[in-house]
Amino acid sequence: MKRLVLIALLCSAQAPPADDLVDAVISRSVSLPDTARIGLNLGVWTSWGAEQLSANVLMNPGFEGIIDRALVAVRDPQGDSFSDDTDWLARSPGFWNDAAFHVVTGREAGKQGTILRSSGTFFECASPLPGLAAGDIVALTKTDEQQLPTQWWLEGQGHAIDPSPRPGSLGRRALRLLPSSAAASYLDAIGDRAGKLLPLTGEWTLSVWARAANRSSRLRVRVERSGTPAFLDVLIPIETEWREYRWTLHPADTGAPATLAVRFTNESAGGDIWLDDASFGPRTANPTAFRDEAVETLRTIRPGYLRDWQGQLGDTLANRLAPAHARRATRYRPGGSEATDFAYSLPDFLALSHEIGANPWVVLPTTFTPAEWAEAGAFLSVKADEYGFREVVVEFGNENWNELFRPAGILSATALTEAAALAFTRLREGSGNDPRIRPVLGGSFSNLSQHETLWERTPPSTMLAFAPYWAYDPTQPRAFFPDDHVRRLRTLSNRHETAIYEMNAHSLSGSAPAETVNQILASPATAAAMAWSTIGALQAGVERICIYTLAGFDTMGEGRGRLIHLFGVTRDLATPNRFRPEGDALVLLNQAIGGNYHAVETTSPDVRGAAFATEKGWRAVLVSRSAAPQRVRVIFPNIPTKSPTLRPRSRAIEVYLPAFGMRLAQPEGNPNEH
């Protein structure tokens, strides 16, 4: 532990440079042509935490229903019935009655039908499946339009669903409030330990469609942060015909951090009120569906790829494409309304990728039918034309190997590769064999036994992607700079085209106090570790790299009450560019990357480098994992010039690297682009 604290202190120490000079020699040969900038996971959208992504901050603003979609790994097939192999996935008796199913793998792959009866993890089919075998994968789908809307707190006793939405709505229903009942959306709920993660600054607009049973009906509309005067508090008469009600606010949000609430209350004596298609958000300057703070931060980072990680979604393609007011919540695991997700849409994600100049990395649900995979291929090909994407990476689900996502994941590597192959075949067919659509299948970085199956059963046209996290236990300082990751990544990439879907520190293990761990994570050593692993991945030949993730204030670590400041490269999106060390490293790396990547050989095991050549000249990025400052001589090779009057020449410059430091290096006369 003393060594751990010492490293944190050394990160800011002004020690004299080392006497020895480290040579960093840039290779003349190109290792990776036209290198992509380092990518980033956009991450899940939350209403309560740091991940305040959407410009309309209200989740499920159309008060829509729920899509339940999950996977069954077949056990005990009996021709007209089967069971799941995992007991903790059991739902209440009858939950899946009348649900649709389709078989994903095995002899019955592609067959569809209806669940006649379900109880726990037992399912009886309306039509027989004689070829179904143990280990086959079956996807279940159920849409519930009768349940009250999730992502809203429904207060009081009087709520109902009406299947008649407001005129012109793309949704399917409205929420009915009986007298004295309310619907509230709670936001920015972490509180004092994080400060305000969604401050109300500038101009905000609140709107909702409503109608009333009679002309005496009154709706109270209130926007407030707990413990401070309300930003809006009005009691308005509601007409008997549908109408949109709208308010413009300029909140004085100067109070203490506390939960933010938007509440609609029926204060009528005896008349019901219907609500539909609500919206609350700031005036934005960008053309996307996301907040300016998110877009501006992404523009600063300039990711080469943007991955739409939103967990392991159990969703339909129609819902992934639906606009906000028509989009349903989704659920793939057992649980009540707290187990549901409300995701940003695929069209909104693609528009954001285009806006910030990133190639999209799309994660599509494992629960799609063959027809949905084909439709997705056609849609993505059209969008690639519209936005001019160089490529669109399409991943088969998220971390199927991870037991946390088992309700919609496929743990068996054999079944996983079969399911992915069938899905990607339909994806390619739907896209018209568009070469820009690049399928990818994720695997476990540490599970060596799984690698053989993935290598043997995954065609060359499908990339394999892994997540080489580092520093699981912060009491082991050298774990921030793993030596074996490059070797393992090189082994993977030598046998199959390899990508990185996630990478970051993962310092949730051990018994060190959270305060100590967070001090270390806030130090320059963490930035250096990010660059160390990223450059190592380039050295191993990995071309597509995504860091995890854009925003996230803290995460529960092992042990009681240990809240660790991971995994966001920004602490929050309250204002743009609130970078943590990993974010600073990512920005610096993407300032350097461009053109062709050339490997850099150093004379010290504690210094790594990467160099990039364009027609404008060289840029190199260097990083040190040493607790002492380093003097580095960067030797740039001759590079051909198109000018008949200029002779190619080599140059050497000396760079000072502080403890756990990073630097950009350019030869004298190079345009200063950083």
Give strand pairing partners of 306: 40, 360
Annotate 366-387 with b (16+ C-beta within 10 A) or e (fewer). Answer: bbbbbebbbbbbebbbebbeee
- Whether the pLDDT of residue 5 is over 50: the answer is no
> Which H helix or E strand runs over 567?
none
CA distances from 561 to 46, 329, 411, 515 (A): 21, 30, 31, 11
> Which H helix or E strand runs over 84?
strand 81-84
pLDDT digits (tens, 9 = 90+) for 428-444: 999 999 999 999 999 99
Q: Has domain 66-142 been given CATH number 3.40.50?
A: no
Task: Count Cα atoms within 13 angstroms, Cβ side, for 310.
Answer: 25
With 0-12 CB in 10 A as exposed, 13-18 as middle and 19+ as buried, what is 404?
exposed
pLDDT digits (tens, 9 = 90+) for 103-136: 999 999 999 999 999 999 999 999 999 999 999 9
Q: Indicate the pairing of strand 153-155 with strand 159-162.
A: unpaired
The amino acid present at 74, given as its one-letter code, is V
Q: Read off φ and ψ for residue 9, nearest 5 degrees.
A: -70, -40
Contacts 24+ apart (CB under 8 A), 534-538: 534/38, 534/503, 534/585, 534/589, 535/608, 535/609, 535/610, 535/621, 535/623, 536/485, 536/486, 536/489, 536/608, 537/468, 537/485, 537/486, 537/489, 537/500, 537/503, 538/31, 538/32, 538/35, 538/597, 538/610
Q: Could you say which of 3.50.50.60, 3.20.20.80, 3.40.50.720, 1.20.1090.10 is the CATH number of the domain covering 308-466? A: 3.20.20.80
CA distances from 283 to 252, 280, 289, 576 (A): 16, 10, 11, 15
86 neighbors 412 (Cβ within 8 angstroms) = no
pLDDT digits (tens, 9 = 90+) for 40-61: 999 999 999 999 999 999 999 9
Least confident of 13-17, 413-417, 649-653, 670-674: 670-674
- Residue 95: asked if its preceding bond is cis (omega within 30°), the reply is no
Task: Count Cα atoms within 13 angstroms, Cβ side, for 252.
Answer: 3
Is residue 556 classed as helix, strand or coil in its secondary structure? Answer: strand
In the chain, list all ranges with CATH 2.60.120.260.
153-282
pLDDT the model gives residue 670: 46
Quote the CA–CA distance of 595 and 644 in Å, as a whole number: 22
Quote the CA–CA distance of 508 and 61 in Å, as a whole number: 35
340 neighbors 150 (Cβ within 8 angstroms) = yes
Quote the CA–CA distance of 465 and 488 in Å, as a whole number: 13
Those residues with Cβ within 8 angstroms of residue 296's Cβ, 6 or more apart along the chain or in another chain: 286, 576, 577
One DSSP character per residue, 229-263 reads --SEEEEEE--SS-EEEEEEE-----S-S--EEEE
CA distances from 310 to 45, 47, 469, 507 (A): 7, 14, 19, 21
* Stated length of the chain: 674
- Whether the pLDDT of residue 4 is over 80: the answer is no
Give strand pairing partners of 606: none
Quote the CA–CA distance of 251 and 257 in Å, as a whole number: 14
Domain at 153-282, CATH class: mainly beta
219 neighbors 205 (Cβ within 8 angstroms) = no
Quote the CA–CA distance of 603 and 635 in Å, as a whole number: 12
Instruction: Choose among 39, 630, 591, 494: nearest CA to 307.
Output: 39
In the chain, list all ranges with CATH 2.40.30.
66-142
Least confident of 204-208, 593-597, 665-669: 665-669
Quote the CA–CA distance of 307 and 298 in Å, as a whole number: 12
Report the interhelical angle of 581-592 vs 524-539 (nearest 10°).
40
Q: The tokens of 639 are what?
A: 């590079």
In the chain, list all ranges with CATH 3.20.20.80.
308-466
- Whether the pLDDT of residue 8 is over 50: the answer is no
pLDDT the model gives residue 13: 36
pLDDT digits (tens, 9 = 90+) for 491-513: 999 999 999 999 999 999 988 89
The amino acid present at 546, given as its one-letter code, is C
> Which H helix or E strand runs over 520?
helix 514-521
pLDDT the model gives residue 353: 98
Task: Count Cα atoms within 13 angstroms, Cβ side, for 191.
Answer: 2
Instruction: Choose among 570, 569, 620: nearest CA to 596.
Output: 620
In the chain, list all ranges with CATH 2.60.40.
14-28+598-665
**Percent residues over pLDDT 90 in the chain:** 88
pLDDT digits (tens, 9 = 90+) for 619-642: 999 999 999 999 999 999 875 555
- Considering the segment(s) 14-28+598-665 as one domain, its CATH architecture is Sandwich (2.60)
Quote the CA–CA distance of 333 and 525 in Å, as a whole number: 38
pLDDT the model gives residue 669: 53
pLDDT digits (tens, 9 = 90+) for 299-328: 999 999 999 999 888 999 999 999 999 999
DSSP annotation of 479 reads G
Q: Indicate the pairing of strand 359-364 with strand 392-396.
A: parallel
